Each structure stands twice: as C-alpha cells, then as structure tokens.
A and B are shown apart, each in its own frame.
Chain A
Amino acid sequence: MLRRRLSLVGLLIVIALVMPLTLFSRPVVAQDSAACPEGSTGSSDGPVRIGVILPLSGSLASVGGDERAALELAAQIANDDMADLALPLAAGAGLPNLGGAEVELVFADSQGRAEVGQSEAQRLIDQEGVVALFGAYQSAVTKTASAVAERSGIPFVNGASSSPDLTEQGYIYFFRTSPHDINFSQSIFDYLELLASDHGAEINGISLFYEDTDFGVNSAAAETAEAEARGMPLAGEVRYRANATSLTSEVQALQGQDANILIPSSYTTDSILLMQTARNLGYLPDVIVAQDAGFVDPAFLDAIGADAEGVASRAAFSIDIADVKPAAGAVNDLYRQMAGKDLYDVPARGFTGMNVLLDAINRACSTDPELIRQALIDTNLSADDTIMPWNGVQFDETGQNTLGTGIIVQFQDGEYRTVFPTEFAVAEPVYPLEPWDDR
C-alpha cells in the first residue's frame, strides 16, 4: 500500500514537472515601442519577429511548404540588400525605418486544423512575442487564429484564404490582401461580358457545375448573384458529390440544360472526369470558364492534353505576368532557386501578403502592434509595387484589399496564358471552343 502511494506521488510529480516545462521555453522579448520622429529613423533591439501559421503537416503540407518558401523569400528580400529588385524594401539591408532591423519569421504548424491554429496563434503571441501574425491558408484556420489576434490586439495579415466571411466579421486587426470568392466570380462575369462585347459571343444560357463543399457551394452562390445582377440567363445548376466516380448523369443533365456557357467548380480528379465524360458524350459548350482549383493544376493538363485547349479559368496569379511586370520574373527566379519550382497561385499570394505586412511595419517605424495596425490601414501600394496582376494594395474599413482582382487564364497551345483583364493580358481570348474532333 505504501509503495503504491509513493508511486502515485511519483507520477503526480512527473505530471507537475511536465506541465511547467512549457513555461521555461519563453524567450525574453525585446519590447520596442518608440515611434520614430518625422523624417528620422527609429531603432530596434533585435529582429522583428512575425508569427506564421501554415498547414505544414497533413494533406495540405505540400502547398503549405510552398507558401512557407515564398514567405521566407519575402523576408530574405527585406533582410538582404537587393537594390536591383523593383519591390519595396528590396534595397538596403533590413527595415530602414527600424534602424535596419532584421525580419525573423517564426513558423508554426496548424496541422490544417482550426483548433490547433488557435493554440498556435496564442503561443506565438504569448511565448514567442511576435508583433504580427500571418497565415493560415485554410479559411477555417484563419478564422480561429485571427480571433486570437483580434482579442490580443495583434495585427493579422492573410494572403490566401478566399472565404468572403473573413472580412465580414467586424474585426479591426484583420487584413486580407487577396481577392475573395465574390471578387473572383466578378472576374469570371467581367470576362464573359468582354467575350460578348469584343468577340461576338452570344450568351444564351449559363450552367453552373459545382461540388457539394464549402468551396463549391460558396462559388455557386456568388456566381448566381453575379448572373442575376447583370441580367445574364442562368440555364440551371448541377451539384455533385466531390470525388465522384462517375459524372455521366451529371453531364447528361448539363446537356439537357442546353446552355452555351459552363462554369465548373471542381478539384483535380473531378475536373479531369468532367472533361473526359463531356468528350465521350459529345457535350461541348462555346465557353468553359472554371473557378480555379482543379482546372489550373498541372495534373489536369497532363491528363487531358489537347482536350484542355480553349478551357479558361479564373486565377490569382499566372507566371506569364512576368511579361508585364519584370519584378515577378526576378522573384520567380529567386523562388525557383529556393523551392525548385515556379511560383504559382498560393505562394505568390503569400509572398505579396508578407510584402505588404513588412512594408507596413517599416512605415510604422515601430514594432508596436497598434502602430503597425495604423500603418496597415494607411497602406497604399501601387500596381508596380507587387508581383500580382493587381492595381495595388489599399484596405477598406473591413480590412479587404480593394485593388486586387482575379485574372482569367486560357489554355492556348499547350499552356495557360493570361487573357483578361486586358492590362495584364498576354494573349487574345479564343472563342468559341473547337469541336472535339478537330483537336
């Protein structure tokens, strides 16, 4: 009995020892809230620490890792002297208004889970002493992590979550640089109007085809609202179970709707199956313009080959933007050295979001979160200050960038080319789709 008692006491001691271990991992954080006076530069002790939450394990680890590389590149560009790169903070080492302070990114793994995002956001603020948070790719994780930032009074910048809700919550510390689902749907319909006005397209009906998920349902709702607002005829919609094994009856339903415009929202395997089934059943609208996702995945092009010719999709970034914005090409070269692949949608948006945050911290002349928030509100970057096909970065009162737009890319001669909007276009849109047998 005594031995048992002793061993229980031992166990409790072990527990008591394990739990406070977390306490001693807290680093001493330099607090610097001295605002620099007008026209002079402030100083900072130690690096400027920014917390980054990304899915670094689980099914989204690969895209999380790609974004991580892009964020590290953004920090490196600020920290090193890269005078020949036409981006803010590239010239000179460190953040000039903070006495050349270095930027240090503190990464945390969300595991793709909302509750882990919350825990990690709390830890980064409380134990790592970060002055701002960045992340978190998935909208659900961004929601919980940004709630922590909001209550702690720490600015949160988001680069790539597309749920419109995020900027509708009345948060005053949340800023999103990327367009969201509603903006992207506007781009799709702007493109359709361009086809109608400049390329003789007739819009006799629009079919919506979407998977039964957050992404598909939100996209379809935004598309329906756009079509109704512009008085375009909706022929019908087909909702299907994601990761379908057959889409035959769904494609037959589309045939029955007899519309000449198709807007699909699908991930990779479904988008491939849709195109194969359409070909087998001889279903061919005049225009296919997709909601990103599967239709811009390189695997889609590999599987479909020439049948993808003429298919268009909205996107946030396309590497041929380098033809219009030389900085994008230079950044892509650096990124390829780091990550071994070209920049694409997600890393490009992450890179830009981090650039905006670093620019704001520099203008704040301080690591005080309140001053950083004020600097974010005052953000005013021009079209040439980003690598994105945007008109710049300015936040409205909800924290949403009002100058960001989606682009439309079309598969032409074996690769995606930007065809809309015209200021970033490198090719003319092709209308209508060629018959299956002529490919």
Chain B
Amino acid sequence: MSGDRPTAAMRQVSWAWVGLIALAAAAILIPLMFGGVAQLNLLVLVLLYSSLAQAWNILGGFAGQVSLGNAAFFGIGAYTSTMMLIEWNLSPWLGMIAGAVLAAVFAVIIGYPVFRLGGHYFAIATIALGEIMLIMFANWGFVGGAVGLSIPFIRGEDRRPADSWLFMQFNLNREGYLIIGIALAALVTVIAILIQRSKIGYYLRAIKNDELAARTLGVNVLRYKLIAIVISAALTAMLGTFYAQYLLFIDPETTMRLELSVLIALVAILGGVGTVAGPLIGAAVLIPLSELTRSALGGAGNTLDLVLYGGLIIIISVFQPNGLVALTRRGGKGRSTALPTDRQEAMAEEAPLLGGGDGR
C-alpha cells in the first residue's frame, strides 16, 4: 500500500530463492546419501504438496480468493491423463498438457459466475464445487465410478514392473519421480515468482487488499481473477497427472475429496499466505510431520499420531498466525509482543487472508 511495496516484494523473492535452492539441494542430496525409497517417497510428497500449495497461493494468496475446491482441478488432471492412457495408450506427458488445458477451461467456466461472490461466499462456493465434482465422478461409470481407475504397470521382459520416461512410470529406479517432482516444483515456483514480480502480481494484490479501490483505479477485476484461477487450475491439474502416475491408482476419494483441498490451503496458510517461500516451508514442515507421527505412532491403532499432528498444527497457527514464513520477518520472535494495532498492521501488510484490508 505504501512506497516500500516493491522492495518488500523483492526481498521476498530473494528469500524464496534461498528456500527453493536449499530445498532442491536437500531433495537431491538426501536420497543420494541415504538411498531409501521411503525417504524418497517423503520428498516426493513434500515437493507435490509444496507445488500444490504454491499453485493455490496464486489464487488464494496473491489474489486473496480462498479456494477450498482446488482438488477438483487436481482430479481433472489425474483423470484426463489416466483416461487418455487407458483408452488410447497416450503418454501421460500429453495427458498432463491436455489435463491442464481442460482444467483451465473448466476454471474459466466456473470462475465467471463464482467470482461474483465476495469473501467467504467464494470459499463456500468452491467447497460445493469440489463436492459436486466428487459425486459426479463417483457415479460416472465411464471413468470407473466409485471403483476408480488402475494404471497398468509397464512391464519388462521378465514380467517385473519396469521404468519408462515416456509413460512416466518408475518402478525400479524411483528417482525418476523425484526428478519430475523437482522439475514441477521449480516450474510452479518460477511461475509464482514471475507473477509476483509482474504487473499481474500487483493487480492481484490490489484486488486482495481492496477490490473496489482496485476497480476504481482501472483494474479489470474479473479478468485478473480469471487469469489467477486459470494459472492455478492448470498447474494443479499437471500435478494431478503426476500424482496419478506416482500412485498408479486413482479414485474420486483419493483425488477430489474436500480434505485434500483443505490440506492444500493449510500448507500454504501455515507456511505463509501470499509469499513464494510460504508454501515451500509449509510443506517441508507439515508433510514430514504427518508422515513422522504416523510412522512412529500410527501402528498402535490409538490415533495418538493424529492427535499429535493436529496439536502441532494448532500450536503453529496460534503462535505463528501469519505462517511460518513470518519467522523470517520479525527477527525470529516467534511470539509477537507488539501492540495489537502494530500486529494488525503487520498482518495486513504480510498476509491479509480473505481481504485483510477490509477493516481499515
């Protein structure tokens, strides 16, 4: 809102690069050092959720349009490539592009009416949208209905599952998934940075802070919201294709359930809404936390792992309401002792969720 915006943005960008490079280095080095497939699985999940949260962030963070239906785009990507693979034996790489295009078209069709809803009503409409997609796919026999779709293994001559770059399947050397995961995460992050630095990024933040003011200043609000949702949807759909190839089985529950939409938003919000580094940090903390608590305690069957996981999320959100990324902005003071007005100021500057500028 004031003159220091550009420098703030630039500062964020450089931090994001530091975070990204550190994450990429860790992602490459750790499996090389320890070579475990389970660690690789964890890293792929971290990369996947950080990318999903980053794609969500373009719409939910930059433009302030909190979507709780991003799993619908994810599902479209997963189903498009899988159907193309099963029906016509087309490479998932083509399916990934087709899924992205389809999700973008779908985003425009639904974005047009839904963006007329303001604030919380937009979030509610996206929940309904995700649920409609879930029920539709669960009852649509052509795409497997509630039973789901299995992607057949690429098999070598000895009948054992094999690797194929063309069909995006890595059964022997799982590193292939890691490489694609890193590439996708880099792609999504670079796009987020470019948007953040470009004219679009400023327009989106203007829309988030005060839609009416942005309109008065000549910003075509609907058009830029549509741009944001199209980019967000297309990237999310590409990740959906990757996930389908990773899991080799999809059903509506796995790809489209509300919980997934919420988790995507949660990673971005806990990490830091509206920042490029936020989703990366959020995923790097949240996903290992979930996997660690479950692997350590889940087998006991007393759900202590879920209690612990939930408790840690509550602790983070209480002490870091602006996300973990805010730790980097307040000189490490996790718990702000500033006066309420100062805190509000800081919150509005850093991460006004749901149009944080409204109250001022």
Contact = CB atoms under 8 A, between A and B. Distances in A.
Interface residues of A, number: 61
Contact of A23 (B15, B30, B253): B30
A167 B155 CA distance: 17
Contact of A118 (B18, B150, B247, B324): B247
Contacts of A151: 153, 161, 171-172
B347 interface: no
Interface string B216-252: 0000000000000000000000000000000111010
Interface residues of B, number: 62
Interface in B30-79: 30, 34, 36-39, 41-43, 45-46
B331 A107 contact: no
B139 interface: yes
B272 to A, nearest CB: 11
A8 B328 contact: yes
Contacts of B253: 113-114, 140
A18 B285 CA distance: 8
A10 interface: yes
A386 to B, nearest CB: 26
A147 B153 CA distance: 9
Given A15-B285, A108-B298, A150-B153, A61 B303 contact: yes
A56 B249 contact: no
Contacts of B301: 54, 56-57, 61, 64-65, 68, 107, 109
Contacts of A277: none
Interface in A115-153: 115-116, 118-120, 122-123, 125-127, 139-140, 143-144, 147, 150-153
A25 interface: yes
A65 B300 CA distance: 10
Nearest to B25: A16
Contacts of B247: 114-115, 118, 144, 147
A310 to B, nearest CB: 32
Contacts of B331: 3-4, 7
Given A11-B281, A108-B299, A16 B26 contact: yes
Contact of B328 (A11, A125, A218): A11
Interface stretch (A209-217, A226-234, A431-439): A209-217
Interface stretch (B96-104, B105-113, B288-296, B352-360): B288-296
A19 B332 contact: no
Given A3-B331, A163-B147, A19 B299 contact: no
B329 interface: yes
B254 A114 contact: yes
A123 B38 contact: yes
B4 to A, nearest CB: 13
Interface string B293-333: 01110111101011000000000000000001001111110
A6 B26 contact: no
A21 B292 contact: yes
Contact of A15 (B284, B291, B296, B330): B284
Nearest to A10: B332
B143 interface: no
Contacts of B116: none
Contacts of B38: 22, 119, 122-123, 125-127
Interface in B156-189: 159-161, 171-172
B119 interface: no
A169 interface: yes
Given A8-B18, A108-B298, A109-B294, A147 B249 contact: yes
A15 B283 CA distance: 10
A113 B306 CA distance: 14
Q: Which of B42, B292, B328: most chain A CB closer than 10 A?
A: B328
A302 interface: no
Contacts of A118: 41, 247
B142 to A, nearest CB: 13
Given A115-B247, A123-B295, A213-B146, A22 B39 contact: yes
A126 B203 CA distance: 48
Contacts of B305: 57, 109
A165 B150 CA distance: 9
Contacts of A21: 288, 292
A234 to B, nearest CB: 19
Contacts of B15: 8
A7 B299 CA distance: 36
Given A7-B332, A114-B249, A116-B294, 18 more contacts: A7-B328, A7-B330, A15-B285, A19-B43, A26-B36, A61-B301, A108-B298, A109-B298, A120-B294, A122-B37, A126-B39, A127-B38, A140-B254, A144-B249, A147-B249, A151-B161, A165-B150, A170-B152
14 contacts: A3-B331, A6-B332, A10-B332, A11-B324, A12-B18, A15-B284, A107-B301, A108-B298, A109-B294, A114-B251, A118-B247, A119-B38, A126-B36, A140-B249
Interface of A: 3-4, 6-8, 10-12, 15-16, 18-23, 25-26, 54, 56-57, 61, 64-65, 68, 106-109, 111, 113-116, 118-120, 122-123, 125-127, 139-140, 143-144, 147, 150-153, 163, 165, 169-170, 172, 212-214, 217-218
Per CB-CB distance, the 3 closest pairs between chain A and chain B, nearest first, are: A7-B332, A109-B298, A56-B301
